[in-house]
């Protein structure tokens, strides 16, 4: 067992994470990984249980790379304020290799993800949300934060008075460095946004970054369409329905 936490008050929770996780029957997400909200000392915590790695990856995560749980924790420390507050992570070994692992963060009470205004043409206050989102993304990029899965479900939004607060999740895949113009615009491509919505977001981003609006919009639209084409090509090969 190996763990780390921002405070010793969570040590008992981490050491007994398996029993806490098993006791909570309701999942808020269950696919490759599973996520539950668990109450501990009157505080709601989000616990992400990562899928047990295959035999090869067990060796990789034990000797060559950090586990996804550890990466999530360390990345959340680096981007404090942009993601829900980290609590800790814990890894369990089996036969000397990393087996189960968990990442724990505070529960961020959000109103919707960026997916909803991207899908709903009549979403209330849509332009203001997109402007605030552009500013949030610009702040991320200016601090050298490059989220490699900047997709709609990973961008949470909370309305607070007249402001919109954003937090990013699923943060084990990130890079930290100065970003080129192309990388900044490519980062919007996984939103799968309609062209008119992407134009709104990128135009506001350009105002903040002092970039040429027309050329940036054209580049962003090209990168977005390239991403859609690649994903739809894979879906066709698998006989799945494509999405515009």
Domains and CATH numbers, the chain: 2-106 (3.30.200), 112-237 (1.10.510.10)
Average pLDDT over residues 80-99: 97
Per residue in 213-223, pLDDT (tens digit) is 999 999 999 99
* pLDDT bucket at 236, cuts 50 / 70 / 90: confident
Strand partners, 45: 38, 106
Residue pointed to by tokens 């269950």: 30
* Confidence tier at 180 by pLDDT (50, 70, 90): very high
Q: How many CB atoms lie within 10 A of CB 40?
A: 17
Report the distance separating Cα 123 and Cα 127, nearest Å. 9
pLDDT category, 235, cuts 50, 70, 90? confident
Q: If you average pLDDT over residues 73-96, what whole number do you get?
A: 97
pLDDT of residue 144: 97
The predicted structure's pLDDT at residue 241: 72
The pair phi, psi for residue 100, each rounded to 5°, is -85, 145
CA–CA dist 57, 233 (Å, integer): 28
**Confidence check: pLDDT of 243 > 80:** no
Q: Read off the pLDDT of each residue in 115-130 and give the average, rounded to a whole number.
A: 97
* 239 pLDDT more than 90: no
Share above pLDDT 90 across residues of the chain, in percent, rounded to a whole number: 91
Confidence of residue 238 (pLDDT cuts 50, 70, 90): confident
Contact 126, 104 (CB under 8 A): no
Counting Cβ atoms within 10 Å, is residue 17 exposed (0-12), middle (13-18) or buried (19+)?
A: buried
Task: Work out the widest C-alpha separation in the chain, in whole angstroms.
Answer: 57
Distance CA 192, CA 92 (A): 37
Confidence of residue 104 (pLDDT cuts 50, 70, 90): very high
28, 105, 110, 161: CA torsion to nearest 10: 170
- Please give the sequence-ordered ranges of beta strands (E in DSSP) within the chain, or none if there are none: 2-5, 29-30, 34-40, 43-50, 86-94, 97-106, 112-113, 145-147, 155-160, 163-168, 174-176
pLDDT averaged over every residue in the chain: 95
Kindly report the CA angle at 88 between 86 and 93, in degrees rounded to 5? 145
Q: Which one has a higher pLDDT value, 233 or 180? A: 180
Over residues 104-123, the mean pLDDT reads 97
Average pLDDT over every residue of 37-59: 96
94 close to 59: Cβ distance less than 8 angstroms: no
* Contact assessment for residue 158 and residue 136, using Cβ atoms and an 8 Å cutoff: no
């Amino acid at each position: 067992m190996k763990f780390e936490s921002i405070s010793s008050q969570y040590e008992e929770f981490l050491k007994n994470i398996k029993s806490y996780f098993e006791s909570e029957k309701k999942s808020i997400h269950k696919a490759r990984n599973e996520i539950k909200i668990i109450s501990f000392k009157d505080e709601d915590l989000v616990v992400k249980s990562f899928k047990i790695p295959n035999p090869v990856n067990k060796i990789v995560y034990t000797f060559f790379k950090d586990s996804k749980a550890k990466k999530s924790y360390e990345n959340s420390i680096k981007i404090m304020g942009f993601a829900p507050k980290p609590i800790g992570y814990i890894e369990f070994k089996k036969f000397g290799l990393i087996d189960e692992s968990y990442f724990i963060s505070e529960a961020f009470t959000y109103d919707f993800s960026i997916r909803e205004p991207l899908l709903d043409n009549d979403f209330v206050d849509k332009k203001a949300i997109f402007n605030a989102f552009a500013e949030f993304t610009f702040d991320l990029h200016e601090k050298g934060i490059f989220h490699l899965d900047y997709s709609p479900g990973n961008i949470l939004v909370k309305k607070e008075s007249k402001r919109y607060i954003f937090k990013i999740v699923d943060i084990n895949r990130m890079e930290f460095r100065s970003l080129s113009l192309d990388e900044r615009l490519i980062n919007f491509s996984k939103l799968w946004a309609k062209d008119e919505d992407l134009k709104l977001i990128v135009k506001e981003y350009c105002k903040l970054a002092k970039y040429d609006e027309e050329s940036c919009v054209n580049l962003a639209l090209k990168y977005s369409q390239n991403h859609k084409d690649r994903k739809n090509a894979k879906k066709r090969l698998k006989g799945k329905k494509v999405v515009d």
